[in-house]
Amino acid sequence: MSTVNLQDLINAAEEVEDSGFESGYELPQGKLVSVKVVDSRPAIQDDGTPRFGMWLEITDGDDKGNRFWVFPKFSAQHAFVTKKALAVLNALGIDNAFIGGNTPDMIGAALVGREAVVKGNYRKNKKNPDRPWEDHLFSPKKVVAPAAPVDDDEDYYDDED
């Protein structure tokens, strides 16, 4: 087994330009925004279950262009955690059949470009009350059908030929 030289890692990190993945943006409590998944990074947690780091970009309104991370995850121990993750993925148009039949990498790839509406929500963190847990609520983005074309023919209702 090879040993990693930590100084080499530090030197490499210092040479890397900012990746743009740090936003400092925090979705305010109760605020509704439309978002698009611009990056997805699936990972396997210590218990063997997947989580999905999703880099979301706000697509309209005053906060358009701001980005923030969310991390829906599955849990072998807590079914409510998995239920929340499924709600997020379902709101983004990924159904349970697709989730159950594919790898985390395939699911992550399918998330990129998808859109939803997110409501900022936080819940108490008992261990650290000054840092509430992100618990945003996702819903499908409704697609509005274009209006029917308007007929500019002024004689449209004229019975005379």
Give phi and psi for 109, each to the nearest 5. -65, -35
156 lies in a domain?
no
32 lies in a domain?
yes
127 lies in a domain?
yes
User: The tokens of 98 are what?
Assistant: 């697709």
User: The tokens of 149 are what?
Assistant: 């074309």
Q: How many domains does the chain have?
A: 1
Question: Which structural domain, as residue segments, surrounds residue 54?
Answer: 23-140
User: The tokens of 19 are what?
Assistant: 């990746």
For the chain, the maximum distance between any two Cα atoms, rounded to a whole number of angstroms, is 92
Half-sphere exposure of residue 50, counting CA atoms within 13 Å on the CB side? Answer: 18
Q: How confident is the model at residue 86 (pLDDT cuts 50, 70, 90)?
A: very high
Sole residue written with tokens 């955690």:
81
157 lies in a domain?
no
Predicted model pTM:
0.75
40 lies in a domain?
yes
Give per-residue pLDDT as tens, 98-126: 999 999 999 999 999 999 999 999 999 99
2 lies in a domain?
no
CATH number of the domain residue 73 falls in = 2.40.50
Q: Is 118 exposed, middle or buried (0-12, 13-18, 19+ CB in 10 A)?
A: buried
Give per-residue pLDDT as tens, 21-60: 555 789 999 999 999 999 999 999 999 999 999 999 999 9
104 lies in a domain?
yes
